Amino acid sequence: MDIKTLKIQYLEHLEIEKNRSAKTVENYGRYLNRFLQFTKVSSPAGITEDLIRQYRLYLNRFKDDEGKPLKKVTQNYHIIALRNFLKYLAKRDIKSVSAEKVELGKQEDREVTFLEADELERLLKSPEDNNLDTLRDRAVLGTLFSTGMRVSELCALDRDKIDPKRGEVSIRGKGSKIRVVFLSDNAKDSLDQYLKKRVDADEALFIRIPRSKSFSKESNLRLTPRSIQRIVGKYAIKAGIIRKKVSPHTLRHSFATDLLRNGADIRSVQALLGHSSVTTTQIYTHVTDKQLREVHERFHDKK
């Protein structure tokens, strides 16, 4: 069987058996296409360790149309896709190079942008009016920081799944995994005020407000991640936060940082963020490093 057919079958396997999202399947397809275009192999047996080494050199030296290289993390995404494809081939007893012989490259540490307590307070208080747009924006900011959810998870929320009084929300995250997140008192209050002022029948929790304020002829009102990004950016500027690039993910980072600074263990933070591995959660070492310094100063070399 030719390798292009096997690639298609592998992507179908990801979609059906592995229940991966359409975006994940699309990304894996793109990464594998780049490998096939570079190597020009026609069968799995043609994939060798040396060919993979040449491919890795190609990725490391690759420049886009603007002359920018691929980040190490992006290079690793390509290798992960290839490695998982090789595992799939092995599972089907199709001869090729062993996935165990393909190692990931060392990644640079991820830079984490988060807000300090005073910045957070200014940001969350910056939507000041009581019109529907502003009530929505206040609820968006409060929900993002209170739950630490991803912007895609926020956009997917339906209002019949939200009970502001109870303060618990079940969300479907990456890999269709369900987890429970929690609303603070301020977030519950903001959501309650926003929902009470809604007069439309749209199922989405967060919607764009038509300029005419007439909802009868509108369709697809659900906010997109880009819309949420604009809302967060708008209020960051209003709050005077101009030295940091503030995004919805900044609030997710701030949520995790706040928990760790107040004594939460990293495994609990991992569960609340919906990380499949604690290794991902360990990007928040800027918090634990500070705590280690305090431990060192308190207990080391005391006479």
Residues marked active site are found at 150, 174, 249, 252, 275, 284
Q: How far apart are CA 112 and CA 202, in angstroms?
A: 35
Q: How far apart are CA 201 and CA 229, in angstroms?
A: 25
Q: How far apart are CA 105 and CA 280, in angstroms?
A: 16
Q: How far apart are CA 290 and CA 303, in angstroms?
A: 23
Q: How far apart are CA 39 and CA 244, in angstroms?
A: 42
Q: How is residue 175 written in tokens?
A: 């890999």
Closest by Cα among 82, 67, 73, 76 to 3:
82
Pairing of strands 168-172, 178-182: antiparallel
Q: How is residue 101 written in tokens?
A: 């012989």
Amino acid at residue number 150: R
Phi, psi torsion values for 171, nearest 5 degrees: -125, 150
